[in-house]
Amino acid sequence: MPVFSLDPAQKSWCDELRVVAVNQLRPLAGKGEPGRINRPLVAALGELGLLDRMLGAGALDLCLLRESLAHGCTEAETALALQGLGSYPVVQAGSEEQRARWLPEVAAGRAVAAFALSEPGAGSDAAALALGAVPEKGADNGADGPGWLLTGEKRWISNAPEADFYTVFARTTPGAGARGVTAFLVPADRPGLTGSPIEMLSPHPIGALAFDSVRVSTADVLGEVDQGFRVAMNTLNLFRPSVGAFAVGMAGAALEATLTHTAARTAFGGPLKDLQSVAHQVAEMATRTEAARLLVYAAAEAYDRGAPDVPRRSAMAKLFATETAQYVVDAAVQLHGARALQRGHLLEHLYREVRAPRIYEGATEVQRTIIAKELYG
């Protein structure tokens, strides 16, 4: 399939998703409490089959899901994406027992997942994480074999402290950098694990997790010991283009609102769209949005066919799409004027939502570093 076009079935599916987002999911989102997991919204995503589809989706399917939902309901998009981010390490590296225990619950919207990578001193520099996994001492290590004790802190974790389980990345080999990290599946009720919310500009919870000798065993390992960094990067390579898709969805919604507004709003004797300065601004917004969409689709298609340049393409898509969305939403606010900043206006909502994607899952500056490294490599 050419990366620059969608077939009729894909277009129809995306159109249906936009309608579902507006008519069924947005009302549920409106009843949610800021900074808390909206479990009725997550359950609705499960009932609609969207979480199950997300778990089995390729990169392009995931991007279409996220872009379409973001166009109509950013809260639903984010709830779906966080379920995917937290559970994809289980999809790609989990044991049969781990998958059987957790994935059906995630797909049904009954269990909420979280991806616990960032730390106070290791945000974008994931290889520098310090959460320690110290081998247990003593001959009797429990019925599930020898284990580790996790001690340290995670911070800026979406869905914390309210998630039902966490995919946690901890250092099992000190001084080994990225090669000494192991991924663990840690249920939220594990003794010694506590969390606290962080008040942020975000509709979903973001928090800190404290690990006080939290026991994990070989049954909790996702993949192989000391190979957790690969699990994290495989997850991020899939989800970075889809962060771009989320951004494109927001940019598209802002662009449509601007087209409607500038065609109807009169000033200086005619509609705003007849002012060349306005028309050129809207043309620039549309061009950048389409360019971002094409970069996202190209990265997703490259991921799905196993291309060797996925890290570069994913970084480019995430970088360009999130920066473009910031530009488009800001320009839309400017063309709407004061009304766009009224509480409850679509653009007021998007203006708050659009900032964070330039930071999470690798900040813009990190994406540029990745791109440069791939180019020179």
Q: pLDDT (tens digit, 9 = 90+) per residue, 284-321?
A: 999 999 999 999 999 999 999 999 999 999 999 999 99
CATH 1.10.10.10 is held by the domain 230-376: no
322: confidence class by pLDDT, cuts 50, 70, 90: very high
Work out the angle at residue 246's Cα, subtended by the Cα atoms of residues 243 and 248, and round it to the nearest 5 degrees. 110
pLDDT of residue 6: 87
- The CATH code of the domain at 8-108 is 1.10.540.10
CATH 1.10.540.10 residue ranges of the chain are: 8-108
Rounded to whole angstroms, the Cα distance separating 308 from 131 reads 31
Rounded to whole angstroms, the Cα distance separating 362 from 123 reads 8
The Cβ of residue 156 has, within 10 Å, a number of other Cβ atoms equal to 18
CATH 1.20.140.10 residue ranges of the chain are: 230-376
Rounded to whole angstroms, the Cα distance separating 95 from 85 reads 18
Contacts of 232 (CB under 8 A, 6+ apart): 89, 117, 126, 169, 181, 183
- The answer to whether the peptide bond before residue 308 is cis (omega within 30 degrees of 0) is no
Q: Which CATH number fits domain 113-225: 1.10.1840.10, 3.40.50.20, 3.40.50.970, 2.40.110.10?
A: 2.40.110.10
Q: Please write the tens of the pLDDT for every residue from 20-72.
A: 999 999 999 999 998 999 999 999 999 999 999 999 999 999 999 999 999 99
140: confidence class by pLDDT, cuts 50, 70, 90: low
Sheet strands (E) in the chain: 113-116, 132-135, 147-158, 165-171, 181-187, 193-197, 206-217, 221-222, 266-267, 270-271
Q: What is the mean pLDDT of the chain?
A: 94
Flag whether pLDDT at 153 surpasses 60: yes
CATH 2.40.110.10 residue ranges of the chain are: 113-225
pLDDT of residue 1: 47
Q: Please write the tens of the pLDDT for every residue from 64-101.
A: 999 999 999 999 999 999 999 999 999 999 999 999 99
361 in catalytic set: yes
pLDDT of residue 125: 74
Distances (CA, A) of 181 to 173, 175, 231, 278: 7, 10, 10, 52
Instruction: Find the catalytic residue in 75, 119, 301, 361.
Output: 361
> Of the candidates 220, 210, 213, 163, which has an alpha carbon nearest to the alpha carbon of residue 188?
163
Rounded to whole angstroms, the Cα distance separating 69 from 229 reads 30
Flag whether pLDDT at 283 surpasses 90: yes
% of the chain residues with pLDDT over 70:
96
Indicate the residue type of 203. P
Q: Please write the tens of the pLDDT for every residue from 345-373.
A: 999 999 999 999 999 999 999 999 999 99
Rounded to whole angstroms, the Cα distance separating 269 from 62 reads 46
CB 270 within 8 A of CB 293: no
Contacts of 42 (CB under 8 A, 6+ apart): 51, 79, 83, 109, 112
pLDDT of residue 139: 45
202: confidence class by pLDDT, cuts 50, 70, 90: confident
Flag whether pLDDT at 120 surpasses 80: yes
369: which 2 tokens? 């570093």
